[in-house]
Structure 1
Amino acid sequence: MTINFPELARQAAADGVITAEEVLAMRRAAWPDGRIDQPEAEAILAINDVVSTKSPEWIDFLVEAVGEYVLNGTEPRGYVADETADWLIARLDRDGRLDSQAELELLVRVLEKALGTPDRLKDYALAQIERAVLTGEGPTRDAGILGGGTLSAGSITEAECKLLRRVIFASGGDRPSAVSQREAEMLFRLKDASLGAPNAAEWQRLFVQGVGNYLQGWTGGRPLSRDRAAHLESFMNEHSHGLGSFFGRMSQVGGSDLARAARDVFGGGQPAERDYAGEADSDAALTSPEKAWLDGRIEADGRTDPLEEALIAFLAEG
């Protein structure tokens, strides 16, 4: 690392600004090998702590650089390790909350790009958004790149709707690219806290789609877990030479012989074809536990509000 990060941090602390030229210099210095290590990520976050004016260029750099370390700093690449998730939460957390939009955007982008993350990372990100809605304070309420609003506590801004949608449907974390029960329960809490408030127009649609996805979404497309991906990568690395020799020898035999040899080595007949449409139809039908869960939330206050009515109508159409 050729750039003097400590000196840049002291300068940023003095004037509270980091220029576009300084961001460009940091980009050139941080990526000569295409990787970001933990000391570099720590230094970048230290600068973010003292920069009071966070430009779009700086936020983009912070998200890309620290996100590169979080996602690809350990093997297998693309999966967030438990210790990395703990490091990121500890590094960003200030008395149980985030201090800036840049930090929240970093969390959201990691969740969107990750092939898998510990559930607590998504839970932490959602807790920051929920707290902002309930208290009216937090990074989602600041004016700036995320389009924060100025609504009062107990109302939901357009920016918060966008962030919630990005996080609950992110590929990393619990029930990847789908809504988990914990997330559906969080949507109900937000709904109850914001009834009658001047919420963003998108909020009802997000609530209905989010809870509806938990109750009716297809769950058959789960990706590899981090442990399974690491095992597969280790196997391929250990056996790559032997497999290459095997396929080289097989290329010298005829097509039918090749197919027969492959069956001998890797197993017998054709795998049964999955009934994806049947799986989706089965997942769309509410089970008894799901119906009990939904009834409990709708009947909790003794009345059915407009968002719950919209949810019931959506489920009936499915």
Structure 2
Amino acid sequence: MSVHFGELASKIGADGAITGDDILALRRVAWPDGHIGQAEADAIFSLNAQLTSKSAEWVDFFVEALGEYIVNQRAPTGYVDEENADWLMQRIDADGELGSMAEVELLVRVFERAHNVPVRLKEYAETQIEKAVLHGTGPTRDGGRLEAGNVTPAEVKLLRRAIFAPASERPAAVGKREAEMLFRLKDATLGADNAPEWKQLFVQGVANYLQGYSDPNAQISRDRATELQAFMGNTEGSVGSFLGRMAKASPNAFGIVFGRKASAPTRTERADAAQAVTAHESDWLDARIAADGKVDDYEQALLDFLAEE
């Protein structure tokens, strides 16, 4: 990071406010070539903590710059490594709470842009987003609001983006932890002034966990992506030499790869199979509905939806 950028960030944050011209100056100094370094990322996070008023323009810059740093600054791009995941969690936790909508938006952006992230970052993000919905207050990036104790349309939109993001627990579908989060949010806000969209998301989200299909190969680990990238970038060998090494290492490999084998179920067949609610899933649902000894409106809507399906 240039000394000039550090001085500029400190100067801008001194009075707790930031203007459009300030953001433009930061962008020109910190990000002239599309690359954000560790020091710049730290300075941008520190500046966010200093600001008492955060405009939509600032949140856009904060999310865009740090999202690029976390997801794409280390090879293979699109995969968040353990070090960057730890850095992000530590910066958000620095003051003991999810301090601003900018931080919420950054978490969601990382999950929307990354191919995969470490499991502990997935679990951390779910916890933070649940806190934001239950306890967060103030304007959101798109003009909506976070309100404590109920679920607003803006919070429904935030939840939908988070649980269906490519790098979420179950890409393009809802995972078990996410479905359990939806149940906790439902229980915590029963009787509150919730947006109509909230009941729809609860029903669709939990039903997706029970009946939805997600490609098990949609996500691979960062280590595996690194191995594949290294192999694809190896110009010293040839396909022939690779196959020769494979034959020595695994003599039966050619029969598996090139010989006849039983046809695997098609994607449609796998999706059809996933739609059936298993005994384990049924037990999971029964336990949650029976937890308070009654069936509320949200749970009845879910049961009706599953019966129709």
TM tier relative to shorter chain: 0.7 to 0.9
1:188 lines up with 2:173 in the alignment: no
Change (3 A) 1:132 1:223: closer
TM-score scaled by structure 1?
0.85
Q: Which residue of 1 aligns with 2:138?
A: 142
Is it true that 1:117 corresponds to 2:113 in the alignment? no
Residues 186-230 of structure 1 show CA distances to partners (whole Å, capped at 9, x for unaligned) of 111111111111101110001011101111111235232222111
Partner of 1:37: 37
1:233 aligns with 2:229: yes
Summarize the alignment of residues 46-61 of structure 1 with structure 2, pairs less than 5 Å apart: 46-61=46-61
Where do 5+ consecutive residues of structure 1 fail to align? 247-263
SS of 2:258's partner is coil
Q: Which runs of 5+ in 2 are unaligned?
A: 242-253
| Equivalent residue runs for 1:12-91 within 5 Å | 12-91=12-91
Asked whether the 8 Å contact 1:17–1:53 carries over to 2, the reply is yes
Cα contact 2:132–2:146 (8 A) shared by 1:
no
Instruction: Measure, in 1, the Cα distance between the counterparts of 2:301 and 2:101.
Output: 32
Matches within 5 A, 1:299-314: 299-314=290-305
Q: In 1, distance between residues paired with 2:28 and 2:179?
A: 43
Q: What's the secondary structure of 2:110's corresponding residue?
A: helix
Q: Residue type of the partner of 1:80?
A: V
Deviates more, 1:124-133 or 1:98-107: 124-133
AA paired with 1:299?
Answer: A
- C-alpha displacement of 1:31: 2.9
Query: Which residue of the other structure, out of 154, 168, 173, is the alignment partner of 1:173?
Result: 168
Give aligned-pair identity as a percent.
53
* Offset at residue 293 of structure 1 (A): 0.3
Instruction: Number of aligned residue pairs: give it.
Output: 296
133 and 23 in structure 1: CA distance in 2 versus 1, 3 angstrom threshold: closer
Q: In structure 1, which of residues 268, 282, 287 is the aligned counterpart of residue 258 of structure 2?
A: 268
2:285 to 286, 291, 294: 294
Q: Is the 8 A contact 2:203 2:305 kept in 1?
A: yes
- Residue pair 2:172, 2:214 contacting (<8 A) in 1 also: no
- Partners of 1:62 and 1:102 within 8 A in 2: yes
Separation of aligned partners in 1, 2:58 and 2:146: 24
Q: Which residue of 1 aligns with 2:202?
A: 207
CA displacement at 1:244 relative to structure 2: 8.6
Say whether residues 1:108 and 2:108 are aligned partners.
Answer: yes
In structure 2, the residue matched to 1:281 is 272
Task: Give CA deviations for 1:101-134 in whole Å, capped at 9, x if unaligned.
Answer: 1111111101111100112223323322322444
